[in-house]
């Protein structure tokens, strides 16, 4: 299943991609018992109803579907409660900096207002001088998780997505902590869909990032230092994860700030980010 949130900013409705992904079914219009918002869907028990609709799309009224190209896709979870990020979590990214691999996931966060859709613009703030890109595997939590073991972590995951961890390096390094530099509005595009775990193995996915068509990052999630189950377990030891919370699992080598010479983003650039089987983000820097 590939769930989406579609519509104008602040008015996104819950949908699911049909067939090859060119059409969206509005799940609430197809079955009024299903909520019209992603967060309400994740907080309830509506998976079986959604699966029934997708198993027999011939019964879906035409008025309950829309062409994907005719609507804006928002972030699958338009306003997450938490966006928890993992730093230095790819072997190649740590190697390019010449630092040791962290013994446990290195956590920081992004503010929820950073969340935007897969094709939304990223705003280059006036007080920023060093803007950077990072392609990441995103994880969306589906059930409240506290004290979860790595072996059980998969039961608490609603799905996966492609995520763009935009970074203001000047603020990140200047503040000596990462929150402000990672949390400017529009600094977390993700999507295009929440892809359910039955469709994808997160431990072996190619992920790439291009800037103006030039490949900058090209790696695989098999280079993660700490895998998805270990990350969920580590966070949930002391922090209760709620449905709709998002985890950004880290970025591989090739970010702009560590290139020689540095190759940071400029206004007018286009960034294309893709995780295998999860879909592509295309964000213009404005």
Domains of the chain, first to last: 2-70 (no CATH), 83-284 (3.90.850.10)
CA atoms of 216 and 281, how far apart (whole Å): 15
What does pTM read for this prediction?
A: 0.96
The answer, yes or no, to whether residue 176 has pLDDT greater than 90, is: no
**What is the rounded CA–CA span in Å between residue 75 and residue 115?**
7
Residues 6+ apart with CB under 8 A from 233: 148, 149, 150, 153
Over residues 141-170, the pLDDT tens digits come to 999 999 999 999 999 999 999 999 999 999
Local confidence band at 117 (pLDDT 50, 70, 90 cut-offs): very high
Sorted by sequence, the CB contacts under 8 Å of residue 46 that are 6+ apart come out as 27, 33, 34, 35
pLDDT surpassing 90 at residue 83: yes
Compute the distance between CA of residue 180 and CA of residue 188 in angstroms, rounded to an integer: 13
Which three-class secondary structure state does DSSP give residue 258?
helix
Q: What are the phi and psi torsion angles at 152 (to 5°)?
A: -100, -5
β-strand partners of 51: none
Q: Is the pLDDT of residue 202 over 90?
A: yes
* Share of residues in the chain with pLDDT > 70 (%): 100
Please list, residue by residue across 133-160, b when 16 or more beta carbons sit within 10 angstroms of its beta carbon and e when fewer do.
bbbbbbbbbbeebeebeeeebeebbbbb
In tens, the pLDDT along 41-64 reads: 999 989 999 999 999 888 888 899
pLDDT tens-digit readout, 210-236: 999 999 999 999 999 999 999 999 999
The pLDDT assigned to 201 comes to: 95
SS3 assignment, position 88: coil
């Amino acid at each position: 299943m590939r769930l989406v949130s579609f519509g104008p900013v602040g008015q996104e409705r819950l949908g699911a991609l049909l067939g090859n992904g060119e059409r969206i079914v509005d799940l609430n219009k197809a079955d009024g018992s299903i909520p019209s918002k992603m967060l309400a869907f994740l907080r309830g028990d509506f998976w079986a109803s959604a699966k029934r609709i997708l198993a027999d799309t011939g019964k879906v009224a035409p008025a309950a579907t829309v062409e994907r190209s005719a609507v804006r896709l928002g972030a699958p979870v338009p306003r997450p409660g938490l966006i928890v990020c993992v730093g230095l979590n790819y072997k190649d990214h740590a190697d390019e900096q010449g630092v040791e691999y962290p013994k446990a996931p290195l956590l920081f966060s992004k503010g929820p207002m950073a969340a935007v859709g897969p094709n939304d613009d990223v705003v280059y703030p006036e007080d920023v001088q060093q803007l950077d890109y990072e392609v990441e595997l995103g994880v969306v939590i589906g059930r409240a998780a506290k004290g979860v073991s790595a072996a059980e972590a998969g039961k608490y995951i609603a799905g996966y997505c492609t995520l763009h961890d935009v970074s203001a390096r000047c603020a990140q390094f200047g503040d000596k902590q990462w929150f402000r530099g990672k949390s400017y509005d529009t600094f977390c595009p993700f999507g295009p869909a929440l892809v359910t775990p039955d469709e994808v193995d997160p431990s072996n996915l190619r992920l790439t990032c291009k800037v103006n068509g030039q490949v900058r990052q090209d790696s695989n999630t098999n280079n993660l230092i700490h895998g998805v189950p270990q990350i969920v377990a580590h966070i949930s030891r002391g922090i209760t994860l709620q449905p709709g919370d998002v985890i950004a699992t880290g970025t591989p080598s090739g970010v702009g700030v560590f290139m020689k010479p540095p190759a940071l983003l400029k206004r007018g650039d286009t960034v294309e980010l893709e995780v295998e089987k999860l879909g592509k983000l295309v964000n213009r820097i404005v």
